[in-house]
Amino acid sequence: MTGDRKHLVAVALALAATLTSAAAAYAAPVASAPVSSAPAVASAPVRALDRIAHPLRSTEPGTGTADLQALGVMVGDAKVVGVGEATHGSHEFFALKDRLFRYLVEQRGFTTFALEISWSAGLRIDDYLQHGDSDARRVVHEVMAGSPWDREEFVTLVQWMRDRNRQHPERPVHFLGDDIGAPSLDERVFDNVTDYVSRTRPESLPRLNELLTGLRPLDDAIAYLGRPLAERQQNAARAQQVLEWVQRESSGGGKGAEFALQNARNIAQTYTFLTLDPGDQKSLTAMERYRDQVMAETTAWWQRHTGSRILLSAHNDHAGYAASDPTTYPKTQGAFLRDTLGADYLAVGTTFDQGSFLSKDEALGGAWKKFTVDAAGPGTNEYTLDQVRYRDYYADLRKSPAAARSWLAVPRPTHSIGTQYPNDKTPEIAIGRTYDVLIHLHTVQAASALGSQREPSA
């Protein structure tokens, strides 16, 4: 795959990741236990990691919280906790985030679950959480169709959040989409801007509608990339004018001003991102950096605006401080959030030794398929991580003994699986430089399609 096609595929992967399920029936949890395949004499890094590892008894929500207490200490006072996933299609990663979010809500005061889906998709789910009476499965499918998250695992999460809001209306939980408006820019984003102006500056509405002409609606971002670059650049300039105009009109504050401004900002950010040139690697790299910046800015804005503590769900390449493909992703959301929040941001990475996941063998179209990988081989991060005495565990890498710290500082091949698999290049990361906390799972299984039953755990 070369030339324009290769770059367009990369763009499609980026846009696919901005789309928006948790299972109605999980298999019984598997208790953590020593891994029998560990060598008789553990290496120095393994012995060092043993000293800081805490057993994770289950990834399943609703299985108690005693084993998460040490993780709560690691979270401390962080306002945003980014939890990564090594694949976009494994049950255990999705279920684990559900379990962690419930714990953080109930015992640490968190109130927002954020995900790398479009701002407008997040608004749709959050509206359901606050007011909806329909079926959570239908809402998830409508919003996340075609994405990695159109899964039973996310239905369970969204349903739990809705049920909790009914039981605790005094402290509701929220769902945030922190990404650009792809694959579409929902009409509600435009309506939130025009409705605000209609209420506060009705005489200015004709001018705003004039600026929005040609921008609304954006139904298919990938198809939009086929338009001439000059036209897309002109639209981006117009969207920026809309943002600047709303900034001026809302400068006096008032009810809804900040929210209207955020919606105008998302319009401008989306059209700016869509000025990328699929045939130019530098353009692609710049826009991917911009996308991570946008996700970080949106998350930080939400935290400031609402005062919420946030669990931020993303791929490892966005939650951590460095990506496994720095050529395409030169600065991650996690790195931007560290710049903005400092110690108030905590990056939690995930790894796994073996198992199955969902991905696609082609980026433009194609179906989500089940792939399986065997136990990691020598020389990989997972080969050593899986020799730690617990089957599943987590560890605060900031407190690593010297032998572990040295090992964690070296880049090594690592499972990093997104929207397309396999990849031309083996991903590599230095775990200790990428995350503050690591969660390692011995095995994972492919996530469940809506309406399906998951296979029993091995």
Tens-place pLDDT, residues 335-377:
999 999 999 999 999 999 999 999 998 766 788 999 999 999 9
Q: What string of H, E and C letters represents the secondary structure of 177-212?
A: EEECCCCCECHHHHHHHHHHHHHHCHHHHHHHHHHH
What is the rounded distance in angstroms from the CA atom of residue 290 to the CA atom of residue 269?
9
Q: How far apart (Å, rounded) are the C-alpha atoms in residues 317 and 349?
A: 9
Query: What pLDDT, on a 0 to 100 scale, did the predictor assign at position 450?
Result: 84
pLDDT in tens, 372-396: 999 999 999 999 999 999 999 999 9
At 26, the pLDDT band (50, 70, 90 cuts) reads very low
Judged against a pLDDT cut of 60, whether residue 36 lies above it is answered with: no
HSE (side-chain half, CA atoms, 13 Å) at 274: 33
Identify the pLDDT of residue 31.
Answer: 39
452/454 Cα distance (integer angstroms): 7
Q: What is the pLDDT of residue 364?
A: 64
Is 234 in contact with 214 (CB distance < 8 Å)?
no
Residue 387: CA atoms inside 13 Å, Cβ hemisphere, count?
A: 20
Q: Name the average pLDDT for the chain.
A: 89
Please tell me the total number of residues recorded for the chain in this structure: 458
Task: Please state the rounded mean pLDDT for residues 9-29.
Answer: 37
Burial class of 347 by CB neighbour count within 10 A (0 to 12, 13 to 18, 19+): buried
pLDDT at 362: 78
Query: What span, in angstroms and rounded, lies between the C-alpha atoms of 348 and 152?
Result: 23
Per-residue pLDDT at 15? 54
The closest alpha carbon to 415, from 362, 349, 361, 330, belongs to 349
Block residue for tokens 């996340």: 144
Say if residue 238's pLDDT is above 90. Answer: yes
Distance between CA atoms of residues 58 and 33, nearest Å: 11
C-alpha dist (Å) from residue 405 to 47, 105, 133, 447: 12, 32, 50, 33
Q: Is residue 171 packed enough to be buried (19+ CB in 10 Å), middle (13-18) or exposed (0-12)?
A: exposed
